[in-house]
Structure 1
Amino acid sequence: MANKRYWLTARIKIGEKPQIRHKDPIFLKAYFDENPKKRDEGEVTEGNGLRVPTEKSGSEILNRDGIQQFDFELTEEEYKSASYKIYFWGEPYGSVAFKKEGVGANRCLGRLLLEPEHCRKGGLSFPPKNSQSHDEQIICDFSAHQSVVDYIVQEMNLNSKSDSVKSMKKFNGIYDNQRNDSFFKHTYYPDAAKKAALNELGCRTHSASDWKLDYLQDALFCHVFEKGGQWDHKPKIGPIWGEFNRLGNSGYRYYYDIWSNIHFGYISAKAGFTLAEVKQGADKAQWIDTGSSNGDDPIDAQAIDVGYMLGGRDSLVTIQAIISAVSRFPEWDVCTRFPDHRACRSHE
C-alpha cells in the first residue's frame, strides 16, 4: 500500500454577489501554519509587524462560476496539528475577496484566515487528483467575491461618465471662459450655472460670489458626495468589506475612507475643478463632518491627490493603478493612522 498522503482542500463557491469582475487570471494562494504560536523561517513581517505568511502552496487559477475545488498537499505534521491557521488570498492583489460565514463579521476579505473550527477533517469526501482511498483531507468551504478595490474602480469609471459630472464639467468650462469675457461681466453665465446646480443636484441656489467653489461644496454636501450621499462609499463598503481592508497578502490594512477620497479626487478632476478648489471644498467638508477647523486630514488630502492625478489621464482607471498608488503610502496603514485602535492588537 502506498504511503498515506494528506490534503488541504478548498471548495470555493463563485458567482454570488458582489460578483468578481476582474477579467484576467486570478491565482489562488494558500499558506498552512501548523504552529501559529511559533515564528519560523516560513514567516516574514512587513509594515507594522502584521503577520504576513510567505506562500507555501502551489498556484491555481480561479474560475468565474460554480463551485471550484483546490487541493494542496500537507505534511503529516501539518495535518495533525490541533491549532493550525490557514490563510487564503488571490493574486494579483485587489482582484478578489473571500468570505466565510462566521469569520471576520461575515465580510469579504482580501486575505481570509481560517482555523480548525471553520473547516472539517477526516476521510476523503472530495478526493483530489492522484489521491488514494486511504488518504485524508482538511476541507474548507468559502466563497469568492469582488474586491473593495475593484468596486471603487467600477464606481470611478461609471460615475466619471454620469450626467452630474458632465454638467459640472460644462459649467466649469463656462465659468473659466467668462472670466476673461468683459462683455458678460460675470452676470449671465453664473446664473445658468446656478440653475444647473439646482436642477442637477437638487441643492440650494448659490449665493456666494465664487459660485464655482459653492458648486463644488454642493457636490460634496447634497446628494452626491455628502455623508450618506450616493457617492459616499463608506456606508456601502462597510457592510460588505468592513472598515479595514487588506489587499491580498499585504502587510498593510487600509481604513475604508481612502477609497471615497480617491474617488472624490478622480471625479473632481473629470468634472473640471482645479486641485486647489477641490482641496478647499474638502477642507470645508471636514469642518462640517467633524467640526475641525484644521482642514482635511493629511492622509485624506493625499488620497484626494492620488484620485485627482488619476483623473487627469484619458484612460479608464484600473485595479493595478489603484494598487500602485496606494503602495506608495505606507503611512496609510490603519495601525500607523490609529495605533491604539483595537484592530491593531491583532496580527491577522
Structure 2
Amino acid sequence: MKTVYSPLHAGHAGYFELGNGQFSPGFEKPMRAEFIHARVQEVGLGPVLAPQAHGIAPAGRVHTADYLQFLSEAWDRWTAIDRHTPALPMVWPIPGLRSDVPPAHIDGLLGFYSLDAGAPIVAGTYKAIVSSLESAITAADIVQAGERAAFALCRPPGHHAGSRFMGGYCYVNNASAAAQRFLDNGAKRVAILDVDYHHGNGTQEIFYARDDVFVANLHGDPLTEYPYLLGHRDETGTGAGEGFNVNYPMPHGTDYGVWGAALDDACTKIAAFAPDAVVVSLGVDTFEKDPISHFKLKTVDYPRIGARIAKLGLPTLFVMEGGYAVAEIAVNAVGVLTGFEGA
C-alpha cells in the first residue's frame, strides 16, 4: 500500500488549545504524523510518496470560496496588527446574531469561520493545510488509477471542518475533498466511513443533502462527547440525502464487541449502497489509553478493523484523522492498514 506524506505538516506547531478551563499544549502535534510515518517504514507497508502539487483548489469543491480565502489570509491579517501569538477566535455567531456577513476585522473573522477554539492558526498552518489536502487528493488519484488502496497520512486532520467552518484541529475536510475528487473523476457513488472517536460533523454537514455520498460515523455519544451538537441517531440526511447518512453514537466505555458490531452494520449498509470507492476517515482515538477519548479498543482490535473493511472488496482510501495516545498511535493506525492488507 502506498502512503502519501508531506513534512510540511511540521510547520503547524507550537500552539496551545483551550480545554478544561485553561490553555495547554495542543494534543494534535507534529509527532503524531512523524510516529506513524516511521511505523509505515518500519513494517514495510509500501512506498512513501510526496504529494503532487494541487494547491487549495480541490477544497473548493466542498468548501466555500470565502472560507478558503480566509484561511489563506488569516495569519497575515493577524500579524498585520502586531500580533505574533497563535490566532484564536473570541466571538461566535450563535442563533439570533448575524451569520450572513463576514466581519472585516480578523477577530470577528476567526469566530465567524470557527466551530470552537480548537483550531489555532500559526505561521506554518496554511502550508500544512494545503500539504495535508494535497496528500489526500494524491492518494485518491492513486486509488482511482487502479491501486486497491492507499493511505493519506494527513496532518492537520479534517473531518470536523465543514463547508464554511474550522474546528476540532481541522481546517479543510481532506476526506470530503477526496470523496469529491473520486466523483469528479468519474465515480458515481462514494462512501465515507468515519471510525474516529469524535463524530465527523464537518463531513456530515457537507454531504447531508446529497445522495451520491453515503456517510457512516461511529463515535462517542454527542450528549456527552465533543462535538456535542451533531451526531445523533436520528440524523439521516435531508432532501435528496435522506437515508444516506447514518450515525452510531456509543457511550463511554464501549469495547470492541459493541463497536465492532456497529462497524459490521455500517459495512453492510455501505455494501448495499454499492459505491465505486470507500474513503475511511481513520481515527484511532478509540484506543483505551487515548488521553481525550473514552472507548476501550485495544491494539489487537485495529487489524480487525482493517480486515472488516477489506471484506467490502472496494477501492479504499484511508485518510488520517485523530488519535492522541502518542506512544501507541502509530502501531494502531498502521495496524488497521496491515489488517486491510492481510498481513
When normalised by structure 2's length, the TM-score is 0.25
Larger-gyration structure (1/2): 1
Higher strand share: 1
When normalised by structure 1's length, the TM-score is 0.25
